[in-house]
Amino acid sequence: RHFLKLASTLAVGLVLAACSKQEPAAPVEAASAPASEPAPVKVYTVGTDAAYAPFEYQNEKGEIVGFSVDLLNAVAEKGGFQVKFINTPWEGIFNALTQGDRDLLISSITITDERKQTMDFSDPYFDAIQLIAVKADSKVAKFEDLKKLKVGVQTGTTGDEVVTKLQGKTSTLIKRFESTPLALKELEAGGVDAVVADNGVVIHYVANNPDAKFKTVADTKSFAPEQYGIAVKKGNAELLALINKGLAAVKADGTYAAIYKKTFGTEPPAAAAPA
Ligand code: LYS
């Protein structure tokens, strides 16, 4: 009898542990534990716009998965904290951070001087650059060729910024979408002549949608190199330090390279994971 009771208690404990691993408790801090137990691990809410494969997206089960998820989970483990991912639309994502609705953001966010004024960024974790997507029979050969063409971008991204700069603020040829896949769908439908977006996402989309008959046009002379960072609320030095500590650890021990390889099928370029 005693044994049975113990066994069932254990089983319940295991089930609870398994559940809490899948879906970390919502409160920021777990209920106060007996004084002898170690301090409860903090659970931070993470905003991500899960429409950006292979970085952050939803699988068939609706779970948020991808490179950023694997990376942040590993970073959190090394940094000694827990994370709970919340799908957050790109257009409201920076506000969610400033308002305190999210503790941090990982969403393929390029570190820019402008953004640095309103939020703090971790050390960079990924190198990116803009890439042009066009139909396979397009004559577009360089960025400049888009000057008088209809171009699709994701609103408020660095892709939006470069195209706005090329065509001018008053251009009526820029079509802005709430996600990059929507912009690419519009290219497929013929509503725009090109899409400018982050290389990783464009390459992934083109490879996975052969029927769209797209090709990519790289123009490294026209686009500045970009780096992704994890964002925290301006002044949240405590969380930023944990994140940077975790990032350094996953870069140093090969975890970063393993996640990179799992996602992209190749070793990371030497510069992508500086120790
Ligand atoms: N890296 C680009 C930027 O920060 C695109 C991010 C889009 C994420 N869904 O603007």
87-139 pLDDT, tens per residue?
Answer: 999 999 999 999 999 999 999 999 999 999 999 999 999 999 999 999 999 99
Please report the pLDDT score of residue 271 as a whole number: 56
Ligand 1 contact via 177 beta carbon (within 6 Å): no
Atom of ligand 1 nearest to the CA of 158: 10
Please report which confidence band the pLDDT of residue 40 belongs to, taking 50, 70 and 90 as the band edges. confident
> Is residue 49 lining ligand 1, measured as CB closer than 6 Å?
yes
- State the Cα–Cα distance between residues 34 and 19, nearest whole angstrom: 22
Q: How far is the CA of 51 from the centre of ligand 1 (A)?
A: 11
Distance (angstroms) between ligand 1 centre and the Cα of 3 equals: 55
Instruction: Output the CA torsion 230→100→179→156 (10° steps).
Output: -80
CB-based contacts of 74: which residues, under 8 Å, 6+ apart?
A: 246, 250, 255, 256, 259
Q: Comparing C-alpha atoms, which of 90, 135, 131 is closest to residue 231?
A: 90
Q: In whole angstroms, what is the distance from residue 212 CA to residue 235 CA?
A: 45
Question: What span, in angstroms and rounded, lies between the C-alpha atoms of 115 and 214?
Answer: 32
Whole-model pTM: value is 0.86
Position 36 scores a pLDDT of: 72
8: CA distance to ligand 1 center in Å? 48
The amino acid at 263? T
Q: For tokens 């308002």, what's the residue? A: 99
Q: What percent of the chain has pLDDT over 70?
A: 85
ipTM (interface pTM): 0.98
Read off the tokens for 253.
């021990």
